[in-house]
Amino acid sequence: MTDWGTIAIGTRMNDRCDPRFFNSWSHLIAGGLRRGDTVLDAAIELPQHFAGTALALFYLRSDADTLCMVDTDMIFQPDALERLRSDPAGYEYDILSALSVTRRKPFYPIVLKLKEENGEVKYKCAMDEINGGIVEVDAVGTGFTLIRRSVFERMEKELSFGRWFFEFGHGGLGEDTQFCQRAKLLAQPAKIGVHTGVSIGHRGPIAFYWNVKDKKTEMESYDQCAELFAAANKKGN
């Protein structure tokens, strides 16, 4: 499989935009894209599954090779997209996500594999496989994720959902997990991965990151940000 080619980047945006996301997004758009990449219209004020499908349709009207979906509760460095797309180990994947962590307890990195437990098959965190490289998984969150055009085209052709790529989450699963399930139903199932070397923040009242080295959740609060500003001002004086 080839590299990710040109990328169309877009976001699902509700009526409130997190200022930390806006800061990350602005820096990414200003300096984190390559020649030939495009920025899509945002899917605005829609339920997440509607917004995911709308963003996919916006993307399919473009000429880009790959869609990069970004959610507005994510925080990331300006080079996050470049690091995600430029690792040759990721070229064999159809869907590739950056590493994020759940923003509600119990906190765990979103590196999900289907495992049998008490006679039931469930999505479980593959904690032991997080090593800074790419981990093949059964499902990812789509908060900062590359998806090849062929995934959408094959879904439309092979499955019965038409262009309804995302559906409302049910059974304890979100719309992103449902999307991955559909991608796995293809005649040639989509290969899905998480790049555990590209870690991004997931915002709640505070931002949560996964520390790959220490294997734990780290939190960044508004108080910590205030301390940084206070230190910077003190240094400036």
Query: What pLDDT sits at residue 222?
Result: 47
Give the residue numbers spanning the domain of 143: 7-236
20 assigned to some structural domain: yes
Q: Please state at what angle helix 48-60 crosses helix 149-158, rounded to 10 degrees.
A: 110
Q: Which one-letter amino acid corresponds to residue 195?
A: H
Considering Cα of 97, then 99, then 102, then 106, what sign does the dihedral take? positive
Query: What pLDDT sits at residue 206?
Result: 67
2 assigned to some structural domain: no
Q: Which residues of the chain have pLDDT under 70?
A: 15, 169-172, 205-206, 219-237
Q: How many residues does the chain have?
A: 237
87 assigned to some structural domain: yes
Average pLDDT along the chain? 87
Query: What pLDDT sits at residue 209?
Result: 74
76 assigned to some structural domain: yes
Report whether 140 contacts 95 (CB < 8 A).
yes
Residue in this structure with the two tokens 């960044």, named with its chain if needed = 220
74 assigned to some structural domain: yes
Count CA within 13 A, CB hemisphere, residue 235.
6
Query: What pLDDT sits at residue 121?
Result: 85
The DSSP code sequence of 69-113 is: EEETTEE--TTHHHHHHH-GGGTT-SEEEEE-B-SSSSP-BS-EE
How many domains does the chain divide into? 1
| 142/176 Cα distance (integer angstroms) | 6
Confidence (pTM): 0.87
The domain that holds 76 is classified in CATH as: 3.90.550.40
| 200/21 Cα distance (integer angstroms) | 11
71 assigned to some structural domain: yes
213 assigned to some structural domain: yes
Residues 165-181: tens digit of each pLDDT: 988 766 667 889 999 99
Q: What angle do CA 94, 109, 129 make, to 5 degrees?
A: 70
Alpha carbon 53 to its chain centroid, in Å, reads: 15
1 assigned to some structural domain: no
Query: What pLDDT sits at residue 45?
Result: 81
